[in-house]
Amino acid sequence: MVILDDVLLRRYRQRTFRLEPGLRLRHVAAARAFVEERGFIFFWPIQGIPFPSLWTATAGDRPVADAHDDPGHITWTWKDQALDKGWWYYAKVLRGKATLIALDVVPAFYALSENYGDPQHDYLDQYRDGLLSYEARVIYETLLERGPLDTVNLRRLVHMTGSGTGFETALTYLQRDFKILPVGVAHTGAWRYSFVYDCTHRRYPDLPEKARKLSRRQARRQLLGHYLDAMGAGTVAEMRRLFGWSVDEVATALDDLQAAAEAYGGYRLLPGSEEVWVGAALKAELEHADDVPEGRLVSAVVRP
């Protein structure tokens, strides 16, 4: 096993997360480029899940501000502006949290969903198999039949206006399974702000066909490659925590990346700690690092 230098790892993430002041996002065009560069990012930083986010890349590595006039909240404006423009795919996906995905990466996510052939009817098989809740079925059917609806009117039509109805849980599930997504903002409700939702296949009609070209194995390899490119390195536990995959699914994806010289195992952050997998970009930096502080090693063989 080899000890991975944590200083170099932090420096790597400072760049890929855009945390350095000179790399911060200043305008929406830069935000679009950042999503395309990374493949997928969170909208907000998620506690306990280190990963790039639009907020930290714009406002710096600090908590999301409560003040509405905080300059970092320009990210909210960018997100709302993009909902009907197709700049990226935005929905609650990873960990059920707001995620921005580059359009060329969406098919890999879709290939891992429970959508197989006909979005108009496949959901009924899921419902019969117990994979889709009653609330999710009703919400999806309503959007199928009525077209785009804002949250307030959607609640009313599905008779889920009270608390404890399972509406929000179902809404999140449908987004995670790439059945629906926000496509706009309506000035409805007490806050005069609510998302407008529509069916994914209606907004991206070619997505099912693009996803069919990918096996689940190929999709996981592609997504994990983006993960390692952004993170530099990660453990199997960290990868499972983000994607929700099984140990075997992560292991197979890592084996495929290793065979293509895109991932390297055999590293640790501390002697005796969990194995860390390193992406090709960080591996290249480790091999050519010449500015590590005195007294630290780029890597060192762990002696028994």
pLDDT in tens, the chain (304 residues): 899 989 999 999 999 999 999 999 999 999 999 999 999 999 999 999 999 999 999 999 999 999 888 989 999 999 999 999 999 999 999 999 999 999 999 999 999 999 987 899 999 999 999 999 999 999 999 999 999 999 999 999 999 988 777 999 999 999 999 999 999 999 988 788 999 999 999 999 999 999 999 999 999 999 999 999 999 999 999 999 999 999 999 999 999 999 999 999 999 999 889 999 999 999 999 988 755 443 343 333 332 2
pLDDT score recorded for residue 117: 79
Distance CA 227, CA 233 (A): 8
* Equal fold, 2-10+212-301 vs 107-209: yes
pLDDT score recorded for residue 298: 36
Q: State the virtual CA torsion across 14, 19, 20, 21 in degrees, nearest 10.
A: 180
pLDDT score recorded for residue 163: 74
Question: Angle, to 10 degrees, between the axis of helix 151-158 and the axis of helix 134-146?
Answer: 110
Domains of the chain, by residue range, sit at 2-10+212-301, 107-209
Q: Closest by alpha carbon to 175, among 103, 119, 92, 232?
A: 92
pLDDT score recorded for residue 258: 98
3-state secondary structure of 53: strand
Distance CA 268, CA 221 (A): 22
Does domain 2-10+212-301 fall under CATH 3.90.1300.10? My reply is no
The single-letter code of the amino acid at 22 is G
pLDDT score recorded for residue 167: 96
pLDDT score recorded for residue 278: 98
Length of the chain counted residue by residue: 304
pLDDT score recorded for residue 290: 56
- pTM for this model (two decimals): 0.93
Q: State the virtual CA torsion across 95, 43, 262, 292 in degrees, nearest 10.
A: -120
The answer to whether the beta carbons of residues 171 and 164 sit under 8 Å apart is: no
3-state secondary structure of 185: strand
- Matching CATH number, 107-209, of 1.10.10.10, 1.10.2020.10, 3.80.10.10, 3.30.420.590: 1.10.10.10
The answer to whether the beta carbons of residues 263 and 254 sit under 8 Å apart is: yes
3-state secondary structure of 195: strand
Task: Strands of the chain (E only): list them.
Answer: 2-4, 40-42, 89-92, 98-101, 149-150, 180-186, 194-199, 233-234, 263-268, 276-279, 299-301
